[in-house]
Structure 1
Amino acid sequence: MLIPAISPTADEALALALVQAIDNKTKPLGSLGRLEALAKQIGLIQRTTQPALTEPALLVFAGDHGIVAEGVSAYPQEVTWQMVENFLAGGAAINVLARQNGCALQVIDAGVNHDFGTRPGLVDRKIARGTRNFAHEPAMTAEECALSLERGMALVRDLPGNVVGFGEMGIGNTTAAAALMHKLANMPLAECVGAGTGLPPEGVQRKQAVLESATRTHAQVSEPLAVLATFGGFEIAMMAGAMLQAAALRKVLLIDGFIVTSALLVAARLQPAILDYCVFAHCSDEQGHRRMLDYLGAQPLLQLGLRLGEGTGSALALPLLHAAVNFLDQMATFGSAQVSTQSA
């Protein structure tokens, strides 16, 4: 498997030109705050002082996890396929928000324990009917992990636009994400494990105990792809591949919550320059997400108390990306508006 090369976006001359263009708009210096940094970032990604967003897409990857057999989720595994059906019927939160923001939505079956058949709106890239239980054995074989990454890369190669938002669905995947965070960011499990879909305190304690046992069982695993294969999910691995390909194609990556960010942890270990292409939509209320963002040096755009997943944060942040490129493109300059730049 060939991991695509990702070039850093750093360009001193272009960065200076973007700052000058932003500062010459009819506003006090820095007064559009984070939008100014976002406009500069998108300009550097697209290598232009006139960035534009075209055909944004939201990819929601779904997969099941064998670790749910250990009682780590407040919901049964069947909810994964039932929520995929909800996505396909247009009734989930992500459907509402994607429609609201004019964003194409693709739902990808990466490894759900259900046979959907051929369905409009469903992209079938199923690796298997859920991962194995990593409390006892690796979640994936190395071959399954590699195939997941490759299928994620191929999905993005076929996308027409230059913005990709990421989302997920998979009962048990906060447990997988916590394990990835623990192994790849070298953080104590107590800082990584949260309530997920709504576990009570005793459920969180059980989840942590399961992870402590599982990480002891696989204590020797340390290389990023081996960690992903051991603890990850098909949807997480496929997301990581899609992220790598999107950045290699110089697309803007909209990063959602805890699980999506865990996929990015893997991708960033493989290609650190991917972080130049990432816009972090929000900080979720899931325990550990803030620490994960801090580890990556990320500054999320929103903090709304979200913990739904599905890519909802990505969809909500998309209008801010439009605002950033639109002010740079449409706002008058001091010269064109004949506004004085001199103080009294």
Structure 2
Amino acid sequence: MSFSTLSELRARLLDAPMPDAAAIDGAAARNAQLTKPAGSLGRLEEIAQWYAGWRGNAQPKVEAPQVIVFAGNHGITARGVSAFPAEVTVQMVANFEHGGAAINQLSRNAGASMSVHAIELDRPTGDFTETVAMDEADCVAALRVGWDAVDEKADLLVVGEMGIGNTTSAAAIAHALFGGTAADWVGRGTGVDDAGLKIKEEVVAAGVALHGDKDPLDILAALGGRELAAMAGAIARARDLRIPVVLDGFICTAAAATLERAVSGALDHCIAGHESDEAAHSRLLAGIGKEPLLSLGLRLGEGSGGALVIPLVRAALECHSGMATFAEAGVSAG
């Protein structure tokens, strides 16, 4: 059973499972006995213990990572907010399906299964400067696409997106959730010029003026896109299944932030994969209390930054679970 309204999703978030305290304690105890100086593997040690708690295993490994890409079209593209036309969304979905995109290569490199879900591309969301992007039924349907796309056997999840215009949607969500001005949250996305950047600022400001006083999940509906809602649904489902999640870039983080603002702690099963080159991503990460693992100047989306972190998480767990303890290696602990 999943949910049929936004209120029911909020209730699921409130009732979401917590990490296994015994597994965390066991992982911490093991970490203290491994053949290395205390703390010498830095954040890798933190990752291993965080992952152990969510999987309920003090000595786990990543064996079945999953990458899911969701695609949607946005009514606000008619306002001139992107350097590319909306038709590119359909074309890129075909590229994903034929294995030609960056995320295909990165998923394969990470040993992850990958799927793409195009969500009603022939029916763009509403222009949120005039109406809601999605009514509740549309938003719930998109959330459930994401919910249902998560493989129950996965043990690490990355969600990505494709949708011309979706940096504008993400900026509007961030502005509505965290305040400031539209200019604080708007970036160049696919590479708009100064005139395009000004249009984006005006569109975001108008959307937030119309919808910004709503509940966080209603903000997702009013200002988001189907692919953003699907990412949020998949992240929520992963929590339900105790599957750790690596967040991708600005757009993914904006979608995830609606869950965190709706229910504090809803993203405790998530880590931030990277800080993207989209100007406001670092501010958005700070808003949800996440410190990125990588900063490589990426701004592609698709789940690319998250997929890059799968091998890093796997490496943290290989060290944690495979390294000998001082007793096993016959090494003096000092």
Same fold, judged at TM 0.5 (above): yes
Aligned equivalent of 1:168, options 149, 161, 164: 161
1:145-174 deviation line (CA, Å, top 9, x unaligned): 111112221222x44212111100000000
Number of residue pairs aligned between Structure 1 and Structure 2: 324
Question: CA separation in 1, counterparts of 2:313 and 2:301?
Answer: 20
1:322 and 2:331 aligned: no
One-letter amino acid of the counterpart of residue 54, structure 2: I
Q: Which runs of 4+ in 1 moved over 4 A?
A: none
1:218 and 2:227 aligned: no
C-alpha spacing 1:179/1:91, structure 2 compared with 1 (3 Å): same
Question: CA separation in 2, counterparts of 1:332 and 1:175?
Answer: 49
One-letter amino acid of the counterpart of residue 42, structure 1: Y
Stretch moving more, 246-255 or 222-231: 222-231
Task: Give the 5 Å matches for 1:1-344.
Answer: 1=4, 2-3=8-9, 4=12, 5-9=15-19, 11=21, 13-113=22-122, 129-156=123-150, 158-219=151-212, 221-342=213-334
Question: CA separation in 2, counterparts of 1:320 and 1:187?
Answer: 34
1:5-60 deviation line (CA, Å, top 9, x unaligned): 3133272x543332221121111110101100000100111122112223111000
1:168-215 deviation line (CA, Å, top 9, x unaligned): 000000000001001112232221100000112232122101221222
Question: CA separation in 2, counterparts of 1:101 and 1:8?
Answer: 27
Question: CA separation in 2, counterparts of 1:20 and 1:214?
Answer: 50
One-letter amino acid of the counterpart of residue 27, structure 1: K
One-letter amino acid of the counterpart of residue 193, structure 2: P
Stretch moving more, 147-156 or 176-185: 147-156
Question: CA separation in 2, counterparts of 1:231 and 1:179?
Answer: 6
Question: CA separation in 1, counterparts of 2:120 and 2:264?
Answer: 27
SS at match of 1:228: helix
One-letter amino acid of the counterpart of residue 217, structure 2: L
Is contact 2:152–2:241 with CA below 8 Å preserved after alignment? no
Report the CA distance between 1:230 and its aligned residue: 0.9
Question: CA separation in 2, counterparts of 1:188 and 1:9?
Answer: 36
Question: CA separation in 1, counterparts of 2:206 and 2:110?
Answer: 43
Question: CA separation in 2, counterparts of 1:111 and 1:163?
Answer: 27
Report the CA distance between 1:141 and its aligned residue: 1.1
Please, which runs of 5 or more residues in structure 1 have no aligned partner? 114-128
One-letter amino acid of the counterpart of residue 292, structure 2: P
Question: CA separation in 1, counterparts of 2:173 and 2:16?
Answer: 22
Q: How many percent identity over aligned positions?
A: 43
Question: CA separation in 2, counterparts of 1:271 and 1:250?
Answer: 17
Is contact 1:8–1:274 with CA below 8 Å preserved after alignment? no
One-letter amino acid of the counterpart of residue 175, structure 2: H
One-letter amino acid of the counterpart of residue 160, structure 1: K
Question: CA separation in 2, counterparts of 1:271 and 1:53?
Answer: 28
Is contact 2:172–2:205 with CA below 8 Å preserved after alignment? no
SS at match of 2:266: helix
Q: Normalization by structure 2: what TM-score? A: 0.93
Q: CA RMSD in A?
A: 1.4
1:268-324 deviation line (CA, Å, top 9, x unaligned): 223333322102110000011000001111011110000000000111000011011
Question: CA separation in 1, counterparts of 2:81 and 2:248?
Answer: 22
Please, which runs of 5 or more residues in structure 2 have no aligned partner? none
Question: CA separation in 2, counterparts of 1:142 and 1:38?
Answer: 36
One-letter amino acid of the counterpart of residue 326, structure 2: F
One-letter amino acid of the counterpart of residue 168, structure 1: E
SS at match of 2:242: coil
One-letter amino acid of the counterpart of residue 143, structure 2: L
One-letter amino acid of the counterpart of residue 87, structure 1: F
Stretch moving more, 301-310 or 262-271: 262-271
Question: CA separation in 1, counterparts of 2:192 and 2:139?
Answer: 29
Report the CA distance between 1:254 and its aligned residue: 1.2
One-letter amino acid of the counterpart of residue 177, structure 1: A
Is contact 1:284–1:305 with CA below 8 Å preserved after alignment? yes
